[in-house]
Amino acid sequence: MRLLVVEDDKDLNRQLCSALEDAGYVVDRAFDGEEGHFLGETEPYDAVILDMGLPQRDGASILNAWREAGRSMPVLILTARDRWSDKVNAFDSGADDYVTKPFHMEEVLARVRALLRRATGHASSDLVCGPLVVDTRNGRVTINGNPVRLTSHEYRLIAYLIHHQGRVISRSEIIEHLYDQDFDRDSNTIEVFVGRLRKKLGMDLIETVRGLGYRLDVPEAS
């Protein structure tokens, strides 16, 4: 899952990105409102963490512009403003959640997980597809209760597929959501990761849909 952090405090931006990356996400970052607005308008993020008090352009105007342009990714607002009117303004601008500074990093991580779950129609942090369980809270994968050891890229791929299970996901969409904007993207690597995942999972849960991409689903009984 690919996230964007728009925060002008460089230390806080670094801390947020580090915590999110440790949790298994791909993270792009911006330090001012203009850069943040551009990235959010042009890149396919699964969620955005957006500071309200930004240089060059404030968070509320960025969020309004995104929503007017039809950008529907979940947005978590970060702000030092704690008045109820500020919260109302943020939600009316199109925010999905709101955290007041200072905050505990675990709370932000939990809110991001909740946003991603709701956006893809899941209620629990444990995402299930037959015998496969992806624990998004702890970044663990099991098959029939047995742990499966995955690399960071393999985990990102299976997490994205299970968030969107039952839907055919194109290679280009997978690439856009597995790598940050600076990564040298190669569609052939996706086939390699899918092959590795199939071997490690030990069962055929990832279907290749010829000419379209991949779908994670429980195979129908013959």
Fold annotation for 126-216: Arc Repressor Mutant, subunit A (1.10.10)
Domain boundaries, the chain: 2-119, 126-216
Task: Identify the helix (H) or strand (E) that includes residue 206.
Answer: strand 206-209
pLDDT band per the 50, 70, 90 thresholds, residue 184 = low
Position 186 scores a pLDDT of 65
pTM over 0.75: yes
- Burial of 184 (C-beta count, 10 Å sphere; 0-12/13-18/19+): exposed
Pairing status of strand 126-129 against strand 146-147: unpaired
- pLDDT tens for 43-58 read 999 999 999 989 999 9
What three-state secondary structure class fits 78? Answer: strand
Q: Do 117 and 125 form a contact (C-beta atoms < 8 A)?
A: yes
pLDDT band per the 50, 70, 90 thresholds, residue 188 = confident
Fold annotation for 2-119: Rossmann fold (3.40.50)
Position 222 scores a pLDDT of 47
Query: From CA 54, how far away is CA 131, in angstroms rounded?
Result: 45
Whether the predicted pLDDT of 185 surpasses 70: no
Report the range out of 33-37, 57-61, 77-81, 116-120 with the highest average pLDDT: 33-37
Task: Identify the helix (H) or strand (E) that includes residue 47.
Answer: strand 47-51
